[in-house]
Chains A and B, each alone.
Chain A
Amino acid sequence: MTEKIIIAGSGGQGVLTLGVFIARVGFYEGKKVAWLPTYGAEKRGGFSFCYTVISDDEIFSPVVETPSTLFAFDQRAYDTYKIKIGKETQVIINSSLIKDFDRNNKNIFKVPATELAKDIGFIQGMNIVMFGVYFELKKIFKKESIYEVMKEMLKGKKEEIFSKNKMAFEKGIGYSNNK
């Protein structure tokens, strides 16, 4: 199993955080992982992306040419990365912010993640809603690992933040099941 992920969006949307989160879940499950961010001049609102590779084998190239999964958080991210979409690429788009996309591609899963996150009063959880969809579509991780890593990453923060993230995650799962 090798899962090559590109996550793209804007600074402040939790692009890099989601990448780290997925890498840590992979690590927690004993897999080889590599996470490579954009770095340097990023700022809120600027373009941001990262690569996350999860594999049973050694990871040679952390640079993802054709992703097995592409997360697009907004229109600019989709427009920038649509050229990387291959036949097998699972694309997950935040349809709250992406209106213009290839409607013939059956591998594009649309989720109004910003709206769903707003519904639970946690707009910052948009990335985790998207992850919930991914979790359910791909079924490569165990649910316990998700909660364990969430706890670790949120150590020292209020209990409420954990439960909100959990809600966002479950919102994503629920949405993908009702589609």
Chain B
Amino acid sequence: MANNNRMLIKGNYAIAEAAIDAGCRFYAGYPITPQNEIPEYMSKRMPEVNGVFMQAESELISINLVFGAAVAGARAMTTSSSPGISLMQEGISYMAGCELPGVIVNVMRGGPGLGNISPSQSDYFQAVKPGHGDYRLIVLAPHNTQEMYDFTFEAFDLADKYRNPVMVLTDGLLGQIMESIELKRKKPELLNQKKEWALTGAKGRKGQRIVSLLMDPGALEKHNFHLQEKYDLIRKQEKRYEKFNITDDTEYLIVAFGTVARVSKGTIKLDKDKRIGLFRPITLFPFPYEELKEVAKNVKKIFVFEMNLGQMLDDVKIAIENSEKIEFYGRPGGGVPTSEELLNFILKRI
């Protein structure tokens, strides 16, 4: 439903539409709640834009199809929810090793195991400290439908810019919620940048290859140092965060991402004394350690809120050396806190 440039849209559809707008023309996926609207939408939209929609026979295949499309130079995406992302870990590591761009969306649900289908943030570790090998993903965490669109759109440029897989880490609530967004359809910056490294057939040029198996003595070590340099550059250039209601008078600081960050904004609005602020990491890798440290310097207490039992908490502790100031409250297994609940916790602890 559109009204000028405003559009009323479900989070999952916003992700799918953003991918199309970003020039993604290859999508592979396998059904799993709560992200099923994405493959559903893609199955209809991809043929309309001369793209490829593949329903894979499992998530293992989805990620390897994306690998194949990416190695040939295409903008490619897969989406899934927590257990499905676990199945993709091997392929994601191969993509990182081969330096292949691609977008992976995780609409998180409760775990461990098959868990349930309620919203969760329990895959934070898996996203920022991912599978085997010394690699990193760029991880973007939207907190409303507008950002589901914006971040998915930008993820494709980031992936191409660094030749690295990018993960959009979101959850069932943000996937299912329908909100109005402002559609600023723009051109993806790097869409037409030529990918010299892509395997497009060696006609008229020397053959090239892309592998993640590096058996020559020292080759893999060298490759890892090269990857590390890239991650350092990402750390330097791509950190993103939001400061909400942070002033010189802020006494208490909430640190939260995604759904819990928006719920925390409600908490701040409920607080009559206006002394609570929010620091919201937007990129979970690279994590804005220094910026958080700076903001936390003068506050009395830091409240870390998550829909898990303390994962981002580790990164907050890395940022803030005085961890006695830190209080944690989490809801695991599909529990979603309310603004009132978080305020009550704060009031009890101050």
Q: Which residues of A line the B interface, CB within 8 A?
A: 20, 23-24, 27-28, 32-37, 39-41, 58-63, 65, 152
Contact of A39 with B117 in the complex, beta carbons under 8 Å: yes
Cross-interface CB contact of A32 among B177, B180, B269, cutoff 8 Å: B180
Query: Known contacts A28-B3, A60-B265, A60-B266: does B176 contact A39 (CB below 8 Å)?
Result: yes
Cross-interface CB contact of B172 among A28, A39, A61, cutoff 8 Å: A39
Cross-interface CB contact of B266 among A24, A61, A152, cutoff 8 Å: A61
Beyond A39-B172, A62-B177, A63-B263, 20 extra complex contacts between A and B, CB < 8 Å? A23-B8, A27-B3, A27-B8, A28-B3, A34-B177, A34-B178, A36-B173, A36-B176, A37-B176, A39-B34, A39-B117, A40-B34, A40-B117, A41-B33, A41-B117, A59-B179, A60-B264, A60-B266, A61-B262, A65-B338
A20 CA to B177 CA, complexed, in Å: 11
List residues 266-300 of chain B with CB under 8 A from any CB of chain A.
266, 269
Interchain residue pairs with CB less than 8 A apart (14): A20-B178, A23-B178, A27-B8, A33-B8, A34-B177, A35-B178, A35-B179, A39-B172, A40-B33, A58-B265, A60-B269, A61-B262, A61-B263, A152-B1
A60 CA to B340 CA, complexed, in Å: 12
Contact of B177 with A35 in the complex, beta carbons under 8 Å: yes
Cross-interface CB contact of B338 among A20, A39, A61, cutoff 8 Å: A61
Question: With an 8 A cutoff between CB atoms, is B79 at the interface?
Answer: no
A23 CA to B1 CA, complexed, in Å: 11
**B residues less than 8 Å from A40 (CB atoms):** 33-34, 117
- Closest B residue, CB atoms, query A61: B266
**B residues less than 8 Å from A24 (CB atoms):** 1, 8
Interface size class of B (residues with CB under 8 A): 20 to 34
**A residues less than 8 Å from B340 (CB atoms):** 65
List residues 217-264 of chain B with CB under 8 A from any CB of chain A.
262-264
Q: Which residues of B line the A interface, CB within 8 A?
A: 1, 3, 6, 8, 33-34, 117, 172-173, 176-180, 262-266, 269, 336, 338-341
**A residues less than 8 Å from B179 (CB atoms):** 32-35, 59
A27 CA to B178 CA, complexed, in Å: 11
- Closest B residue, CB atoms, query A57: B269
- Closest B residue, CB atoms, query A28: B3
Write the nearest CB–CB distance from B224 to chain A, whole angstroms: 41
**A residues less than 8 Å from B177 (CB atoms):** 34-36, 62
**Max chain B C-beta neighbours (<10 A), residue from A28, A39, A152:** A39
Cross-interface CB contact of B262 among A28, A32, A33, A60, cutoff 8 Å: A60
Query: Known contacts A33-B180, A39-B172, A40-B33: does B263 contact A60 (CB below 8 Å)?
Result: yes
- Closest A residue, CB atoms, query B339: A61
Write the nearest CB–CB distance from B144 to chain A, whole angstroms: 9
Write the nearest CB–CB distance from B69 to chain A, whole angstroms: 29
